[in-house]
Amino acid sequence: MNPQHTPLTTHGVGTSQDLPLPFDLVLQAGALAVVLSFLAVSTLWRTPRGASTRRLPATWDTALRSHLWRTPLRLIVLALAVYVVGNALLGPHDETNPAAHVLFVWLWVGLVPLSVLLGLVWRALNPLRTLHAGLCRLLRIPTGGLRPAAGDGRTGYWPAAAALLAFVWLELIAPDRTDPRLVGGWLLAYTVVQLGFAVVRGERWFARGDGFEMYSELAGRLSVLGRDDAGRYVLRSPLAGLTTKAPGRGTVAFLAVWWGSTIFDSASGSPLWTGFVQSTPVPELVSTAGLAAVCLLMAGSLRWAARGADVALPLVPIAAGYTLAHYASLLVVEGPRGLELLVRQWAPDGNFPATMDAPDPGAVALFQVACIIMGHLAGVLAAHGRALRAAPGRQLTLVLADELPSVLLMVGYTWAGLFLLFAA
């Protein structure tokens, strides 16, 4: 199957011509919004403020934690995952196989809005955790691991960053990446590796080693539904999840891969890059080097902007906003298409509605601009709140001086994000 003829390679339908305003004005407005928001919060928000949370009623908390719905739902997700992998390896070897849609659209793209709405949803439904629990029961080994890792603090979340890098390489660079056999083989290999580490290190490995769970955990920081230190469900103020301590070492590296891969996806679609890669005898190697270079550039710029400060979490809304902007039309068009492909294998011919038409390009373009600008505004608010809490008695001008590099970086990435989406 030639991946160039699959709609999965089309991530957007909006262009600069679809915008209701001149593109150069949109660029200026995006940068100005970031600068003005920084000036506004620095003037109006001068003292540290605690995150506002409110416990849910006991009945609601009990219902959300109940195994009466969690267990069946986890088994359904596990059954779907097993079916998708099995069908990818043994089912139709053409574009009617839904495996690529499930992995690249439902999981990779759909997990962001789902986590923003519901919080740590993938940790509750992760089929790898379900498989691990069943495997430990079958083999009669502890779920805490055969050799629980005392050195998790040293490795931090670098394993999750490496796992995410392996996935984005598959999604963006691998030859015939929508081939169901390749998708199924990659998912099977990923499962074996993750379960192997979890058996040795314990179930807590998934929080540090599973790229998709880390991906969902960071996006879930934007949700108003959270949990307190005692594990009870609470409703929290917007961005409250970004004011706590960052997960640990490797979080910035994970964000660099997440954000950098999406930027590389936009840039690699330009005629200039495509022509250059196709003119080389080793296009996959050149693309791999390009992806690594963009991720390293992102990591370096983030370290420069941080200047020793903890800026990982304020970058989450920017990464999430750019992801939603970049993949907006893919989710709207190819999400239902994946469901159609999945059901058509079992439904009689003609008993399922046709694929949705592409959304209005102008509406998509406006949504993309809104996601990028809102993500950067939320990042400015979160960064300022964390800076004030980190130095409660420090002079405000010194706090603002420390924030300035990150604000300049956000302005640059606002321009870059809008340019790559609409002009590249």
- Going by pLDDT thresholds of 50, 70 and 90, the confidence category of residue 211 is very high
The two tokens of residue 92 are 């139709």
User: Per residue in 134-154, pLDDT tens?
Assistant: 999 999 999 888 877 655 667
* Mean pLDDT within 282-301: 92
Give the pLDDT of residue 309.
Answer: 57
Of the ranges 71-80, 143-152, 356-365, 414-423, the best mean pLDDT one: 71-80
Structural domain tally of the chain?
1
Helices (H), 91-126: 99-101, 111-118, 121-125
Coil, strand or helix at 92: coil
Contact by Cβ (8 Å): 326, 72: no
* Mean pLDDT within 150-177: 87
| In the predicted structure, residue 273 carries a pLDDT above the cut 70 | yes
Which residue is associated with the tokens 């690529």? 100
Give the pLDDT of residue 331.
Answer: 84
| DSSP for 331-342, written as a single string | HHHHHHHHHHHH
User: Per residue in 370-386, pLDDT tens?
Assistant: 888 888 888 888 877 77
Give the pLDDT of residue 152.
Answer: 63
User: Per residue in 8-64, pLDDT tens?
Assistant: 554 544 444 445 556 566 666 677 777 777 778 777 777 766 667 788 888 888 888
Nearest to 328 by CA among 357, 291, 371: 371
Coil, strand or helix at 111: helix
What stretch of H or E contains 34? helix 23-44
**Domain that residue 367 falls in:** 3-422
- Going by pLDDT thresholds of 50, 70 and 90, the confidence category of residue 168 is very high
| pTM to 2 decimal places | 0.86
Give the pLDDT of residue 17.
Answer: 47
Give the pLDDT of residue 153.
Answer: 61
Give the pLDDT of residue 143.
Answer: 86
- Using CA atoms, how far residue 71 sits from 65, 81, 84, 213, in Å, is 10, 15, 20, 18
Half-sphere exposure of 63 (CA within 13 A, CB side): 5
Axis-axis angle for helices 158-172, 283-306 (nearest 10): 140
Give the pLDDT of residue 122.
Answer: 94
- Going by pLDDT thresholds of 50, 70 and 90, the confidence category of residue 193 is very high
Question: How many whole angstroms separate alpha carbon 298 and alpha carbon 255?
Answer: 9
Give the pLDDT of residue 351.
Answer: 54
Give the pLDDT of residue 117.
Answer: 92
Give the pLDDT of residue 5.
Answer: 37
Give 221 or 359, the one with higher predicted confidence.
221
Nearest to 378 by CA among 227, 267, 224: 224
Give the pLDDT of residue 14.
Answer: 46
| DSSP for 172-192, written as a single string | HTSTTTT-HHHHHHHHHHHHH
Residue 62 has φ and ψ, to the nearest 5°, of -65, -40
Report the DSSP pairing between strands 53-55 and 233-236. Answer: antiparallel
The alpha carbon of 190 is separated from its chain's Cα centroid by a whole number of angstroms, namely 18
| In the predicted structure, residue 326 carries a pLDDT above the cut 60 | yes
Residue 226 has φ and ψ, to the nearest 5°, of -135, -170
CA 345-349-354 angle, to 5 degrees, is: 90
* Residue 54: how many other CB atoms lie within 10 Å: 8
Helices (H) and strands (E) in the chain, counts: 19, 3
How would you list the strands of the sheet with 225-227, edge to edge? 53-55, 233-236, 225-227
What stretch of H or E contains 227? strand 225-227
Give 190 or 346, the one with higher predicted confidence.
190
Question: How many whole angstroms separate alpha carbon 334 and alpha carbon 13?
Answer: 13
DSSP, res 3: G
